Structure 1
Amino acid sequence: MTATISRRTLLAATGSAALIGTTATAGPSYAGPRDPAQLLKGSWQPTREDKALVGRWARDTWRSLVAMTDERTGLPADNIGASVTDPVRSKYTSPTNIGGYLWSTVVARQLGIISPQESLRRITQTLTTMRTVDHHEPSGMYFNWYDEATGEVLHVDPDGTREITPFVSSVDNGWFAAALMVVRNAEPRARALADSLLGTMNFAYYYNPDARPGLGAGLMRGGFFETPPPDEETDKGNHAGTGPDVYYRKFHYDTCNTEARIAPYIGIALGQVPPEQYFATYRVFPDSCDWSWVEQKARGVHRKYLGIDVFEGTYSYRGMRLVPSWGGDMFESLMPDLFVPESRWAPRSWGINHPLTVRAHIEHGMDDAKYGYWGFSPASNPKGGYSVYGVDAIGMDPNGYPSDLEATNYDAGFEGCREGTNPNPAFGDGVVTPHAAFLAMQYAPRQAIDNLGRIESTLKAYSAGGFYDSVAVRSGLIARRYLSLDQAMVMGAIGNVFGNDVIRRNFSAGAVARKVRPLIAMEEFTAGLD
């Protein structure tokens, strides 16, 4: 399996006009290949029907994002209900949501859904608002929650139930910075405005060099408070060494296969975080009984990169060995890949792991749980609220990211240390999340399009704003709302596969390619087939 194969077979460099169409037919259900490399092989090219179908999905998804966005501030709400003509907005948003709207605007222009003039107007409006909102000025970072209609920082949690101290999240600011890096290259007329925001963001505030003593590198903090919260113990300090002290939450991102790796990628590219940080995170936790609380025992070898000892371990699932994420969901594994061409730049690690993750989701939905559909990520719960979903067997979380409404937990035990509590689970009412299948489109385009087509035509989890956020496949319960982040992942995935790699191309130029590409290229996972 090589990066060249993946690029030639998976990217459809179609122009925007190719997506203009109104009719299409969904393909047959998918039976997973036995060879994981087949997810990257073949001569797949989008048919006219594919282009029309995905083009309609993109236009409708964009309609939901427009409906979420306040006309005065240019800030998108976190979510809306089922109506896109009379939207009820959530009254809160985050830096991630705002970033998602920005990169979705770039995709909409690339696909010909909006004009270059409308794209510039929307981007400029949003960035101008972000220049004026309250934020942590010494670090250039933004607080977690804002009112999308006013741009004001929220001091009550989004549920409206309690007062909160505004938090400055590393991963949320990572996604906003990622969007700025896309915008500055995709829309040169907005470059100065994007740079004025990006240029003040300092990811050194999050890097704790002492998080893993004796290793030779540290970890990224989850985030900090500008003032001490009354209900939480914190670590006072300042890793950047500039400005007043902040109050760090006692949490670090210590695993590699997570969406949070976007923040150190950016910090490394900007010269604010040392490259060794990438190897300080765990691929899997150690294979000793001290770590037997996770759902299965890893198998692997130790390798050194930049002087850092890395346990290159993997989990086993249906004849595959792969580096797990925390919850086994598509979002953690594949959202950073929307921006960094990880499979192409790191063919011996992500180039193997990403297609195996996709295969695991397909086989779980089609063959293991027998839902008839696949694609599992955190999303709205069809019964109300928000829940996490994943393929539990390829996650480390002992509580599990389930794939069904019953929250069925998989636990294989930890060989030599403890017996499994549920090594052969019986699954119930599976919950599929369309954005997860869109993330997989880069690696299994035919399978993803067919799966999504059946979610629309058979499960009816679709309306004027595109796919609803989730659907339970046996009961037919649908979470009839749209989340801006999930819709932005849909737009980003379509933009890469059908829009000439527009997100990756514009994000990964310059310093990202110079500093991140050689870093991740040196690693070799032990992922593959048993």
Structure 2
Amino acid sequence: MRNSVRTVLVAALATVLLAPLSASADLETERRGHDQTLERYAADTWRSVRAMVVPRTGLPADNVGGGLKASSRAAYTSPTNIGAYLWSTVAARDIGLISDRAAHRRLARTVHTVAGLDRHEGSGMFYNWYSPTTGAKLRTFPTDGSTIKPFLSSVDNGWLATALLLVSRADPSLKRQADAIRKGMDFGCYYNEAEGQGGQIRGGFWDEDPQESAAVPGDYCGLGTDVWYTGHHYGAFNTEPRMASYLGIASGQIPAKHYYGTFRTFPNDSCDYAWTETKPVGSWRTYTAGGEKIDVFEGALPYRGTHIVPTWGGSMFEALMVPLFVPEEKWGPRSWAVNHPRYVRGQIQHGLKEAKYGYWGFSPSNNPAGGYREYGVDQLGLDGPGYTSDQERTTVDQPFEGCPDRAGSPAPTSYGDGVVTPHASFLALRYAPKAALANLAKLRRHFDAYGKGGFYDAVAVRSGQVSKHYLSLDQGMVMAALGNALAGNDMRRYVAKGAMESSLHPLMKQEVFAR
């Protein structure tokens, strides 16, 4: 079962097959050492995941302090957090950290609680914030007493639905209950067919008038009653909302053409798009989806000698959380298989060569100085400002060729206090295993970055400041990556079959990203 990381290492070091037997023995020893390291990380990470869960409800808190005390659990949780706990439990079982019976008890308790949570009746979607102690929908945020306007996020519901699909296949005795919840979730309620050529999904909606000027009344799924949508759509292709899109396409709630309805980059023939990161390379291609012909600008951004289809902000989470569950690089050999390794390489080069931090891995995480922040590599994002990799918010103002208002400015000569989050290395594990393990080892060796619950959430690598907290989402990404690495790609095996494969594989197979 524990063959995924080994397989990747063999592929990366194929020439070793021609080496003497002694070299092969050395490689096998190295493989065993890698597996043992990953098993240690999994056991410790699972300890922090367990510590976040309220036993009575089976709901995880959003985060817990580094000491893993129950008193340090956050008093709120989200659909994504709940989903992350569900798949982490399956991963822990498949790796061998807990028994089948213990995993079933945990999964059953959580699924039972989820079935009773308050949700939007028409769409079947879940609200953004609940109490992990009682399961009640929150209307006041526990940390500051601010009012919560009941919101239903497309992204958050996508991750919960992913986990429910996984649970129904990983524990057949829970299939009926998990499927009943998931099949009641209508992702078509987020889909606006009129936006763009293939339609796009909204960020979410409020089911009560939020009294916000950007809110857009509408009724995409024919409920007979308007809800209030976010003013924005998710228009960028290579970002985490595509998981909700995949679920909608696989369930038939969203048409297949939506796969081509978001932007790889904007076209490069107009200064209307000069607000984005820089002028892309690329060309137009025509694809077929659901019997319709869709024209797509296959654009990519130049970065350090290569071309990369960007995320929105330039973070690792946006690019690589989805392929924990969907084998995009296998289904898209001329698209995702090219882009995912390049994206990882871009993050590595930024950390080691461009910013010269000595470490890499930039993704939304706790801010070691307090609070939560989005971190990334500015040039790997479609958005002009992008996410930055350091505390000083050092941005890169690249030119947009041919547009006088975007002449750009000299590149930074130095960067500040870079913030690295360990979960980014685990997301990169499939695509750069040796580099990921080396980066994690350096973080452990050089900083107080590891506790009894695994890696703490983030490290500011120049000041040495560490956020000694564990987050449900970030630890959930770590557990999913380790489940794949140590248990035969179990996260993918449970999710990426049936309608998911038959609906999405043909769409990905025909696409060719810009080179």
Query: Do Structure 1 and Structure 2 share a fold, with TM-score over 0.5?
Result: yes
2:338 corresponding residue in structure 1: 352
Does 1:304 pair with 2:247?
no
Deviations 1:208-263 (A, max 9, x none): 11112xx3x21111111111113444222211113532221211100100000000
Contact kept in structure 2, 1:330 and 1:377, CA below 8 Å: yes
Change (3 A) 1:140 1:109: same
1:290 corresponding residue in structure 2: 272
Change (3 A) 1:151 1:40: farther
Contact kept in structure 1, 2:84 and 2:477, CA below 8 Å: yes
SS of alignment partner, residue 193 of structure 1: helix
Q: How far apart, CA to CA, are the structure 1 residues paired with 2:255 and 2:153? A: 19
Contact kept in structure 2, 1:7 and 1:344, CA below 8 Å: no
Does 1:254 pair with 2:235?
yes
1:9 corresponding residue in structure 2: 7
The counterpart of 1:269, out of the listed 250, 253, 267, is: 250
Contact kept in structure 1, 2:260 and 2:294, CA below 8 Å: yes
SS of alignment partner, residue 504 of structure 1: helix
Q: How far apart, CA to CA, are the structure 2 residues paired with 1:40 and 1:297? A: 37
1:17 corresponding residue in structure 2: none
Structure 1 residues 38-437: aligned runs within 5 Å: 47-157=31-141, 159-212=143-196, 215=197, 217-242=198-223, 244-287=225-268, 288-306=270-288, 307-417=293-403, 418-437=406-425
Contact kept in structure 2, 1:348 and 1:524, CA below 8 Å: yes
Unpaired runs of at least 5, structure 1: 1-5, 13-36
Deviations 1:471-499 (A, max 9, x none): 01111100111110000000001111221
Q: How far apart, CA to CA, are the structure 1 residues paired with 2:497 and 2:47? A: 29
Of 419-428 and 143-152, more deviation after overlay is shown by 419-428
The counterpart of 1:517, out of the listed 502, 505, 512, is: 505
1:479 corresponding residue in structure 2: 467
SS of alignment partner, residue 325 of structure 1: coil
SS of alignment partner, residue 302 of structure 1: strand
Contact kept in structure 2, 1:388 and 1:401, CA below 8 Å: yes
Q: How far apart, CA to CA, are the structure 2 residues paired with 1:96 and 1:266? A: 15
1:270: Cα distance to partner?
Answer: 0.5
- What amino acid is aligned across from residue 435 of structure 2 in structure 1? Q
Q: How far apart, CA to CA, are the structure 2 residues paired with 1:381 and 1:196? A: 38
Q: How far apart, CA to CA, are the structure 2 residues paired with 1:436 and 1:41? A: 28
1:305: Cα distance to partner?
Answer: 1.4
Q: How far apart, CA to CA, are the structure 1 residues paired with 2:164 and 2:210? A: 30
Does 1:507 pair with 2:495?
yes
1:18 corresponding residue in structure 2: none
Q: How far apart, CA to CA, are the structure 2 residues paired with 1:393 and 1:235? A: 32
- What amino acid is aligned across from residue 9 of structure 1 in structure 2? T
SS of alignment partner, residue 304 of structure 1: strand
What TM-score does the superposition give when structure 1 sets the normalisation length?
A: 0.90
Contact kept in structure 1, 2:5 and 2:430, CA below 8 Å: no
Q: How far apart, CA to CA, are the structure 2 residues paired with 1:302 and 1:41? A: 38
Q: How far apart, CA to CA, are the structure 1 residues paired with 2:65 and 2:265? A: 38
Q: How far apart, CA to CA, are the structure 2 residues paired with 1:422 and 1:401? A: 18
1:187: Cα distance to partner?
Answer: 1.1
Q: How far apart, CA to CA, are the structure 2 residues paired with 1:437 and 1:394? A: 17
SS of alignment partner, residue 9 of structure 1: helix
Change (3 A) 1:252 1:158: farther
- What amino acid is aligned across from residue 103 of structure 2 in structure 1? S
Q: How far apart, CA to CA, are the structure 2 residues paired with 1:413 and 1:59? A: 47
2:22 corresponding residue in structure 1: none
Change (3 A) 1:99 1:365: same
Deviations 1:172-194 (A, max 9, x none): 00000000111111111111111
Structure 1 residues 449-464: aligned runs within 5 Å: 449-464=437-452
Change (3 A) 1:484 1:115: same
What TM-score does the superposition give when structure 2 sets the normalisation length?
A: 0.93
1:463: Cα distance to partner?
Answer: 0.3
Q: How far apart, CA to CA, are the structure 2 residues paired with 1:424 and 1:394? A: 16
2:21 corresponding residue in structure 1: none
Contact kept in structure 2, 1:183 and 1:194, CA below 8 Å: yes
Contact kept in structure 1, 2:449 and 2:466, CA below 8 Å: yes
Contact kept in structure 1, 2:422 and 2:440, CA below 8 Å: yes
Contact kept in structure 1, 2:6 and 2:31, CA below 8 Å: no
Contact kept in structure 1, 2:90 and 2:170, CA below 8 Å: yes
Higher helix share: 2
The counterpart of 1:491, out of the listed 460, 467, 479, is: 479
Of 477-486 and 236-245, more deviation after overlay is shown by 236-245
Change (3 A) 1:67 1:91: same
Change (3 A) 1:42 1:161: farther
Contact kept in structure 2, 1:67 and 1:87, CA below 8 Å: no
Q: How far apart, CA to CA, are the structure 1 residues paired with 2:422 and 2:440? A: 7
Q: How far apart, CA to CA, are the structure 1 residues paired with 2:356 and 2:486? A: 30
Over 4 Å off, 4+ runs: 37-46
- What amino acid is aligned across from residue 153 of structure 2 in structure 1? S
Contact kept in structure 2, 1:410 and 1:425, CA below 8 Å: no
Contact kept in structure 2, 1:39 and 1:359, CA below 8 Å: no
SS of alignment partner, residue 414 of structure 1: coil
Of 415-424 and 120-129, more deviation after overlay is shown by 415-424
SS of alignment partner, residue 407 of structure 2: strand
Q: How far apart, CA to CA, are the structure 1 residues paired with 2:317 and 2:115? A: 29
